[in-house]
Amino acid sequence: MLLSTLFTSLAAATTYEDKLLTTPASPEVLAKGLEADGYALGVSVYAWGYPLVRMERIAREYTDVPSPKPATSYRAPLDQMGWATELATPAAKDMPTANNDTYYLSAIIFLDEPYIISVPDTNDRYYVIDVFNMWQELEHYIGRRTTGTKAGRFAIVPPGWTGQLPEGVKRLDVSTNKVWLWGRLRAGGATQEAISNLQSQCHLRPLSGKPSTTKKLEPLPDIAGDDLGFLKQLAFALKSNKVKPVDQALFGQFSRIGLTAAGFDPSKLRPEMRRGLLRGLADGPAVAISSFASTAVRRNGWDWVTGMDDFGFNYPLRAMVAGPYLGGQGEKEAMYPIRYTDS
């Protein structure tokens, strides 16, 4: 009886189907597999890499100051603060989802040294300055909720810097050598003159003195008409933004589509792999938007998205926020109810 039971159990254990053992290495299978692999990698690389590409684009857009500069614009030269002096209108297109009850502040900083942010006493008026790294991740908040509304000074410190800061300056370490400061100052209950006075008392200066007027960001590669242009710009962005240690295993997979630390080389892409890759890149935006389904809580028909203070490995959510919800704050600071009622 014991032997019979053993043999019956062994027989049952071998009844499952293992398709890999019976899949031939035929030309048809190879073509199918290459296209599927290219597709999967295309979706993955888009969700993972889009925020970095988006932020590098924004760094150049928001430091390109028009003349004359519209009153609703917050653009400013590199390493300088820019304030909107009027509230957003439907004609203000820089911010995809602007509000119109706070004045916006923006600054792109290239951190060749620490930069000191000085803020005035706002007399309890709400303000916040978000410190985003180049992956569109919030690393610090400066403002009413976290640091209060008294006058203060804060140092944005680049990776690896070990010098001394002036007394009374709060150190804020960041993980990339460029950051985006994205601020909001409450509009209501004050005259325009009072608001302008507060704005004029906010300062941004390098630790060593005045900012350089000649420092420029290298242009992104021109990708007009290039169906693999996203990957070329991603490879360019990675030259100045190291892959995080926690992402090295994922990044290593992208070598199969020609993306490595050395750059992007599409010359070795098989036609089937390229075809799948292009489909994956094309579907990437939908995958990012679909992160609503797994991250939002629906209440009375409204979607409340959480997790923006720490994306973790939710790369599609990070990509979605970097795109149409650029500069979105985490739920510690703000909530964004969103509703879709038709097509």
Q: What is the pLDDT of residues 269-295, one digit of tens each?
A: 999 999 999 999 999 999 999 998 888
Query: For residues 86 and 108, what is the distance between their CA atoms, to the nearest angstrom?
Result: 21
H or E stretch covering 295 = helix 291-295
CA distances to 54, 98, 176, 292 from 342, in Å: 28, 22, 40, 16
Query: For residues 121 and 184, what is the distance between their CA atoms, to the nearest angstrom?
Result: 15
Domains and CATH numbers, the chain: 32-58+219-338 (1.10.3360.10), 64-206 (2.60.40.1610)
CB 276 within 8 A of CB 282: no
pLDDT for residue 9: 58
Give CA angle at 249 (28, 251), nearest 5°.
Answer: 70
- Radius of gyration, alpha carbons of the chain: 25
Q: What residues form DSSP beta bridges with 121?
A: none
How does pLDDT run across 184-225, given as a tens digit for each residue?
A: 999 999 999 999 999 999 999 999 988 787 889 999 999 999
- Whether pLDDT at 50 is above 90: yes
- Whether pLDDT at 14 is above 70: no
H or E stretch covering 259 = strand 259-260
Query: For residues 39 and 280, what is the distance between their CA atoms, to the nearest angstrom?
Result: 4
pTM equals 0.92
Closest CA to 150 of 201, 74, 79: 201
CA distances to 84, 121, 143, 255 from 194, in Å: 14, 12, 18, 55
How does pLDDT run across 69-103, given as a tens digit for each residue?
A: 999 999 999 999 999 999 998 888 888 888 889 99
Q: What residues form DSSP beta bridges with 173?
A: 157
